[in-house]
Chains A and B, each alone.
Chain A
Amino acid sequence: MEFAIISTLNGVTYGLLLFMVSAGLTLIFGMMGVLNFAHASFYMLGAYVAYAVSSIFGFWTGLLVAPIVVGLVGMAVERFLLPRVHAHGHAHELLLTFGLALIIEELIKLFFGDFPVNYQMPGELRFSAFHIFGTDYPFYRLFIGGIAVVMFSALWLLLTRTRTGIVVRAAERLPAMAEALGHNIPLVFMFVFGTGAALAGLAGAVAGAFYPTNPNMGLELGVIVFVVVVVGGLGSLKGSLVASLMIGLFSSFAVGLDWSLANLLGLFGLGDWARSVGGLLTLELSSVSATIPFALMLIILLVRPAGLMGERN
């Protein structure tokens, strides 16, 4: 019971963090069809901007400024870089953002050095929310989760319940028609891209204070964020939420489970044989917990290529 509760808590909070980072990626892809490889770099940029600002003006200012700065960078990318390759199709957009990711990483190293920087959460947030089974549960994990929930609700309401949302969705569905009705489509796209980037920046500013802020953080999270988006269904906000939570929970539960193929074969009386063979048969689930999301992605792609809730096929 203790194991189940703790693992669920950890899994849900980690899943919400994944959602926070992948929300912007999903938004950009869903609305514009651009697969932004530099998204995780925006996440890293957010953490570093927040670090730089917070060391002078305090944590909360950093939290506010980071999404704005990263959002502006995102808008600039959409305005000045993407249109140049747009005519050549999605592959070129992907390659451009891939190059951008490499450049951002090296720039970060140039300005902030190769080592992790000392970006810390403020003292007033560093306390344990509650005490469960003899372990403190850090408040900041709940804080990350809370921000993710607020982010999801706000995006959801914005897209489905407001006039702006209608315009954005119209721009995605029938750009020519929306333009004919007098809406400035390039401007809409620029803002969508900017918002997506800003969300990544916010995620970086929040998560960077909990996890180390280093030049590799984009690389490390970038891959897993793509897995989330693919599993959830490219462009589906709800899908990414479900996929993030699934991946969070799977990885969290896998760590505590010593399951291996040998145990499974043990049910048929082949346990000793399997252990003597070793190798893959005795590989414990916990030692491959970080690989589970990729296995999940493989299965989803085989069974349901559009993802859990994706519309595009």
Chain B
Amino acid sequence: MKRLALLAATSALTLGASALHAEPLKIGIIESLSGAQTSTGRLYANAVSYAVARINEDGGFNGEPVEVIEYDNAGGAPDAATKFRQAVADGVDVIFQGASSAIAGQLTEDVRKHNLRNPGKEVMFINLGGEAMELTGDKCQFYHFRFTTTAPMRVNALVSAMKEAGDLGTKVYSINQNYSWGQDMQAAVETAAAGGDFEIVDEVLHDVNKIQDFAPFVARLKSAAPDTVFTGNWSNDLLLLMKASGDAGLDVTFATAYLDQPGNIANAGETALGHYIANNYDNAATDGEFAEAYKGSTGHYPTFVEGHTVFAVGALQQALGTLDFGGGDIDVTKIALALEDTTYETPVGPISVRKEDHQTIRPVVVSKVVKNAEYPADDTDMGFETVEVVSGETAIYPVQDSCKMVRPGE
């Protein structure tokens, strides 16, 4: 009897204690933390954790530190769906994910359905790297925000910067991976042809990360004799393509989207010199303050996707700063509405959300691989030199007709 009373007393105490605590904001990272895409997934997860640590240094949110929970989607959409359910069960409010458009497509649908079925317990999804056009087209929805570029933004920026630098030429070759992203790139190159005064001499779509030997593709590329090769390839597909064309002694300029993936520059060696990349952020385009701060905390300069991931969390932090739930329940819809109105100042320019489709309007940095760079890549003496920072207004493209967004309360 005595023991029972003790138990009752303790549980009453714990209950009382928990009532004093405010509800913390929970962030879930559903990333590829094992399997083939670990290298990219890990970077996204690390950068989110870094940026959330900054929020907590500034006092957290709703009277509590912001919590981060990592979920491993093992690089596949089915696992991501399972992990999404787990995240919901854990009470996650905001989901971050970056590696793979296929997984982003799964998550945005899961989020949409969850929010339809659970009004008042909404979850929002910040997409850090899923660049497929359909995510802000057919699949566009209010609780999805894309904090990265898309194919047209990268291609338009590359075309304008390379043309100005006199490196574009008149004959362009397009080689891409045969799935949503690669097809978007190919379509973007086709669209840009008129404005860029170039002719597309040949187009190739190939299997994704299955090809070991790119020599046959280079043979085909060579016979088309282009000046510039546009490619959205990433990982092995980019590295093998560049190495094979370097080995064949081809004199072409590559216009890429993912050349800054760690390991690429070292592996490609001198072959990489003179090639272009358009991405969200590059250290060389800034005064270096953010780069040093990041290095001070993580031990390395922000590379690849880390920079723009930190900015996405930064934008969220700014949006949170305009809200006050007084320690009570967290209303994700209010956070989403606040994020729509946020213009976040990054070291390369402002980022704002376009309300019609939740694509961010953001600057695109076009750089070129040079020797003796300010921020050497992969322990080599090579690195990126900024050619032009294309402003968000210039890089942005029209809202897709297929986007029919249902806003809350409609």
Contact = CB atoms under 8 A, between A and B. Distances in A.
A215 B34 CA distance: 11
Given A220-B209, A289-B207, A256 B215 contact: no
Given A135-B222, A135-B248, A141 B215 contact: yes
Contact of B249 (A10, A136, A220): A136
Interface in B378-401: 378-379
Contacts of B39: 114-115, 214-215
Nearest to B36: A216
B247 A286 contact: no
Contact of A212 (B207, B211, B239): B239
Given A135-B222, A219-B36, A116 B263 contact: yes
Nearest to A292: B207
B212 A211 contact: yes
B239 A136 contact: no
16 contacts: A14-B213, A134-B222, A135-B248, A135-B249, A136-B248, A141-B215, A211-B212, A212-B239, A220-B210, A220-B212, A224-B212, A252-B215, A252-B216, A253-B216, A255-B219, A286-B220
A289 B219 contact: no
Contacts of B210: 220, 290-291
Interface in A23-50: none
B355 to A, nearest CB: 34
B213 A212 contact: no
B325 interface: no
Given A115-B39, A212-B263, A286 B249 contact: no
A255 B204 CA distance: 9
Contact of A286 (B34, B206, B248, B379): B206
A268 to B, nearest CB: 26
B219 A118 contact: no
Nearest to A119: B267
Interface string A271-313: 0000000000000101111110000000000000000000000
Interface string A1-16: 0110011001101100
A184 to B, nearest CB: 39
A251 interface: yes
Contacts of B217: 255
A284 B204 CA distance: 9
A171 B207 CA distance: 43
A61 B371 CA distance: 30
A211 to B, nearest CB: 6
A270 to B, nearest CB: 23
Contacts of B269: 120
A79 interface: no
A252 B207 contact: no
B126 to A, nearest CB: 23
B63 to A, nearest CB: 37
Contacts of A219: 36
B9 interface: no
Contact of B240 (A117, A212, A284): A212
Interface in B211-258: 211-213, 215-220, 222-223, 236, 239-240, 243, 247-250
Nearest to B206: A287
Interface residues of B, number: 40
B266 interface: yes
B369 to A, nearest CB: 15
B26 interface: no
Contacts of A106: 34
A221 B211 CA distance: 9
B105 interface: no
A254 B204 CA distance: 12
A251 B267 contact: no
Interface in A129-163: 134-138, 140-141
Contacts of B239: 116, 212
Contacts of B38: 109, 114, 215
Contacts of A13: 215
B308 to A, nearest CB: 19
B178 interface: yes
B262 interface: yes
Contacts of B247: 128, 136, 138, 140-141
Nearest to B177: A287
B205 interface: yes
A14 B34 CA distance: 30
B207 A287 contact: yes
Contacts of A224: 212
A143 B204 CA distance: 29
A286 B219 CA distance: 13
Contacts of B404: none
Contact of A115 (B207, B222, B262): B262
Contacts of B249: 128, 135-136
A255 B263 contact: no
A6 B247 CA distance: 14
A288 B218 CA distance: 16
B163 interface: no
A306 B222 CA distance: 40
Interface in B166-183: 178
Nearest to A252: B216
> Which of A7, A114, A215, A284 is most buried by chain B, counting CB atoms within 10 A of its CB?
A114
B378 A256 contact: no
Contact of A3 (B36, B219, B240, B243): B219
Contacts of A140: 247
